[in-house]
């Protein structure tokens, strides 16, 4: 569900649901499938103070509402369609208005390893 929560691509959602069904039906998995786009967007600002702006708060509240509806009934295609529509609108709004401080989660790979070989040895006196 990670890739769908970031990129909002329905193919990723369908793949995640197939995997989740296989795990629950064949392997006794008891976990719940859930989207977490709101959480990603909430933490996507380089300046946390921007998150408190009314425009941002209104957009994220709307996103949270539709995400909650989807997570309550993850198999409902209408909830899915509504969530995708709202999430794409919120993404567009935030990218247009706060392009400098909004790091779109779709543009980052959560599984990419950070380069730990480089060390900055410069010291300022």
pLDDT digits (tens, 9 = 90+) for 44-90: 998 889 989 999 999 999 999 999 999 999 999 999 999 999 999 99
The predicted pLDDT at position 119 comes to 58
Q: Output the CA–CA distances (angstroms, integers) from residue 62 to 24, 53, 58, 108, in the order listed.
A: 31, 14, 6, 23
- Phi and psi at residue 45, to the nearest 5°: -100, 130
The predicted pLDDT at position 123 comes to 56
Statement: residue 117 has pLDDT above 70? no
pLDDT digits 0-9 by tens, 11-42: 999 999 999 999 988 888 888 899 999 999 99
The predicted pLDDT at position 26 comes to 86
Which candidate, 40, 48, 36, 43, places its Cα nearest to that of 74? Answer: 36
The predicted pLDDT at position 116 comes to 58
């Amino acid at each position: 569900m990670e890739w769908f929560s970031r990129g909002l691509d329905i193919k990723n959602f369908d793949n995640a649901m197939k995997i989740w069904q296989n795990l629950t039906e064949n392997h006794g998995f008891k976990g719940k499938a859930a989207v977490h786009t709101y959480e990603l967007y909430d933490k996507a600002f380089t300046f946390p103070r921007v998150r408190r702006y009314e425009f941002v708060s209104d957009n994220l509240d709307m996103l949270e509402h539709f995400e909650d509806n989807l997570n309550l009934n993850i198999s409902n295609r209408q909830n899915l369609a509504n969530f995708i529509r709202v999430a794409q609108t919120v993404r567009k709004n935030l990218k247009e208005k706060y392009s400098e401080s909004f790091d779109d989660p779709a543009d980052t790979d959560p599984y990419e390893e950070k380069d730990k070989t480089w060390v900055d040895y410069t010291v300022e006196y």
